[in-house]
Structure 1
Amino acid sequence: MKKGKATIHDIAEKLNITASTVSRALNNNPRISDATKKKVLKVAKQLNYQPNHIASALRSGKSRLIGVIVPTANRNFFSSVIRGIEEIANSLNYKIIISQSYDEFEKEVQTVEALLNARVDGILASIGKTTENFDHFEKVMKRGIPLVLFDRITNDLEVSQVVIDDYLGAYQTVEHLIKNGCSRIVHFTSSQRINIYKERLRGYEDALKDHGIDLDPELVVFSNMQLEDGKSSMNSILHKNIPFDGVFSSSDYAIMGAMQVLKENNFKIPEQVKLAGFGNEPFTSFTEPGITSVDQKSIPMGKLAAETFFELLNNGGTEAIARKTILKPELIIRGSSQVSKPNCSQALTDLQAT
């Protein structure tokens, strides 16, 4: 055998059979006897044969691979979505290729191109924060390859989407803070190009309006929503002496940063300031006090995204009518947002005097 990767021709030569017989045996064709299959598999293992998925995809028209693009895989939310996708895919003998865009537009474009070159049967994606041009996704659709967006979506593409009701999650959270006595609620948000942040801001604004509280633009803070952003945002609020008695963040990481700063400045949580985040990351239940947060139903979201993909695949890809599936969020109330006898009016006075 010549140097390099083993091929079906190498296996055929060693067993003195045809390459087509080897191919059928490797694909468990019923026309091939069990004895021949066992011999082929044994030699394939000896030669460390690795199937050429791209070549197979060219022959069959299907690679049985699905590309999954997420901003980052090291967040519980996205890793749980991936788990949901994988559960459905594996049950149907499909594998997934996971790629991270790191919220960088160029990486997202390059990833889509790489997945197309790998002959994936479809792409499931959550759009990066800096993405404004969607030509790379339109290229996927023009090729007739199923495309499903989840969590971070755009209304500029006529594609199937799976999201949580971000507006409802935000509205319920702010209403919860108001009912527990808060009237000056800071909101941490991010780029309004991203649908989730736009909807969460809208929910925040409507909850205030419906409870007769005027919106103060000073209380709306924009950032990248990471831990350090939460720290810097809270430090800025404190430095400006802006009165507040609650904080609702569109990210658990940012609210965690805010909590750290408040504790460093000796604020009592929730007696003086009530906190709530979004995402229900695992650490929210381990802090002291635990952080109230919105559960995004990440595993169900992943499963529904995968099921939507397979429906599209069975119906001819992009020819099927795009649909939007909206999951209902769940507010997980913990110690950061309520006390037995809330007295936020007194807390507001305390903060103004600080």
Structure 2
Amino acid sequence: MATKTTIHDIASFLNITASTVSRALNNNPRISENTRKAVLKAAKQLNYQPNNIAAALRNGKSNLIGVIVPTADRAFFASVVRGIEEVANELDYKIIICQSYDDYNKEIQTVEALANARVDGVIASIGKETLNFEHYNALLNKGIPIVLFDRTTDQLAVNQVMIDDYEGAYEAVSHLISEGCKRIAHFTSPIKISIYKERLRGYTDALKDHGVPFDQDLVLESNLQLEDGRQSMLQLLELREIPDAIFSASDYGAMGAMQVLKEKNIKIPQQVALVGFANEPFTSFTDPTLTTVDQLSLTMGHVTGKLFFDQLNSQDKNGPQRMQKTILKPKLIVRQSSLRSSLEGSY
């Protein structure tokens, strides 16, 4: 196996000291331009790769940020990561993207790996299974800053960025009621992390404020994936009186419900109206197109990245660490799946 080129190899190649090589690679003003160019040329010839961890130990800064998401193949998380990376790249930082797969043990291992990689900080959306946050507290105890986005917790005294899940749900259900829906079901998650708690609370308050009775049989818990939406819809169709609308805490759950309704020849939205949550790209291509709550993913990424670097700069200057909770206002995207009033007379 080939050995890795070191600064000592470059020094031997040029017949200079290793300390001179090190200074040249770090643009030390004490090194002449001719020496610096010679060192850079030799480093390229010998395929020298700097040891970022060693550099981080020397300088106290790696210019690397760890970003932990439950899964990178969801458009929402991919878009947030893009926003974070755009902010980071402007400041000459790079990001390391890690996936927890909503697995608590995997999340712990990921946090430890990022700490060992000497990242300058961690930006994370916590997994559904995470109820204990000692692994994040371990980072804080080492002086590594953390910012949470979307899936957050008040058990950590860190900066947070999220949308107003309550307001998004409240507006979605109020819209369904304004379209004449009176028996509205809700797809939620049994794992009551804050986003699902708030969406359920928005659902129940909207019903209450508009004088629509709450029915526990219409609240179904699942993992909110496509197949879960299908199974939940099939369960609702077995009721003596089926719902006239579904508000799903995820677009995937709503899409599963849509598939079943179409298979059963139940008209959307005339008989059952649908609203999802997230504004996944596929929602504008379904038939009918799916009404959904936009989580402003790219904006969330930009805001999260800026908040992180504001905090990092504050720490560098030994300034006060004032924790912030930034709440973005969601936007209801009204499409064909819920517009019953525009179809009056076509039942």
Displacement of 1:5: 0.8
Long gaps (5+) in structure 2: none
The count of corresponding residues between Structure 1 and Structure 2 is 345
- The verdict on how the C-alpha distance between 1:121 and 1:165 changes in structure 2, with shifts beyond 3 A counting, is same
Asked if the contact 2:179–2:341 (Cα under 8 Å) also holds between the matched residues in 1, the reply is no
Partner of 1:333: 334
Asked if the contact 1:185–1:219 (Cα under 8 Å) also holds between the matched residues in 2, the reply is yes
Paired amino acid for 1:227: L
Secondary structure, counterpart of 2:170 in structure 1: helix
Partner of 2:140: 141
C-alpha distance in 1 between matches for 2:94 and 2:198: 33
Matches within 5 A, 1:308-347: 308-316=307-315, 320-341=321-342
Partner of 1:230: 229
In angstroms, what is the RMSD of aligned CA positions?
1.9
C-alpha distance in 2 between matches for 1:290 and 1:22: 62
C-alpha distance in 1 between matches for 2:135 and 2:80: 23
Partner of 1:278: 277
Paired amino acid for 2:118: R
- The verdict on how the C-alpha distance between 1:57 and 1:96 changes in structure 2, with shifts beyond 3 A counting, is same
What TM-score, normalized by structure 2, do the two folds share? 0.95
Between the aligned residues of both structures, percent identity stands at 64
Displacement of 1:343: 5.6
Paired amino acid for 1:313: L
C-alpha distance in 2 between matches for 1:133 and 1:65: 26
Asked if the contact 2:129–2:191 (Cα under 8 Å) also holds between the matched residues in 1, the reply is no
C-alpha distance in 1 between matches for 2:182 and 2:136: 43
Displacement of 1:3: 4.2
Displacement of 1:340: 4.5
C-alpha distance in 2 between matches for 1:49 and 1:289: 57
Matches within 5 A, 1:203-218: 203-218=202-217
Long gaps (5+) in structure 1: 348-354
Asked if the contact 2:180–2:341 (Cα under 8 Å) also holds between the matched residues in 1, the reply is no
Paired amino acid for 1:218: D
Establish whether residue 290 from structure 1 lines up as the match of residue 311 from structure 2.
no
Displacement of 1:235: 1.2
Partner of 2:113: 114
Which deviates further from its counterpart, 242-251 or 196-205?
A: 242-251
Paired amino acid for 2:263: E
Matches within 5 A, 1:55-204: 55-204=54-203
Paired amino acid for 1:201: L
C-alpha distance in 2 between matches for 1:31 and 1:218: 76
Partner of 1:352: none
Displacement of 1:179: 0.2
Asked if the contact 1:72–1:78 (Cα under 8 Å) also holds between the matched residues in 2, the reply is yes
C-alpha distance in 2 between matches for 1:113 and 1:235: 43
C-alpha distance in 1 between matches for 2:27 and 2:257: 58
C-alpha distance in 2 between matches for 1:214 and 1:293: 23
Partner of 2:25: 26
Secondary structure, counterpart of 1:277 in structure 2: strand
Partner of 1:37: 36
Displacement of 1:192: 4.8
Off by >6 Å, runs of 4+ in structure 1: none
Q: Write the deviation string for residues 56-78 of structure 1: whole angstroms up to 9, x where unpaired.
A: 01000111111110000000000
Q: Write the deviation string for residues 119-172 of structure 1: whole angstroms up to 9, x where unpaired.
A: 111011001001111111111111111111000011111111000011111111
Displacement of 1:50: 1.3
Secondary structure, counterpart of 2:336 in structure 1: coil
C-alpha distance in 2 between matches for 1:180 and 1:231: 24
What TM-score, normalized by structure 1, do the two folds share? 0.93
Which deviates further from its counterpart, 9-18 or 258-267?
A: 9-18
C-alpha distance in 2 between matches for 1:232 and 1:31: 70
- The verdict on how the C-alpha distance between 1:253 and 1:236 changes in structure 2, with shifts beyond 3 A counting, is same
- The verdict on how the C-alpha distance between 1:119 and 1:235 changes in structure 2, with shifts beyond 3 A counting, is same
C-alpha distance in 2 between matches for 1:120 and 1:131: 22
Secondary structure, counterpart of 1:336 in structure 2: helix
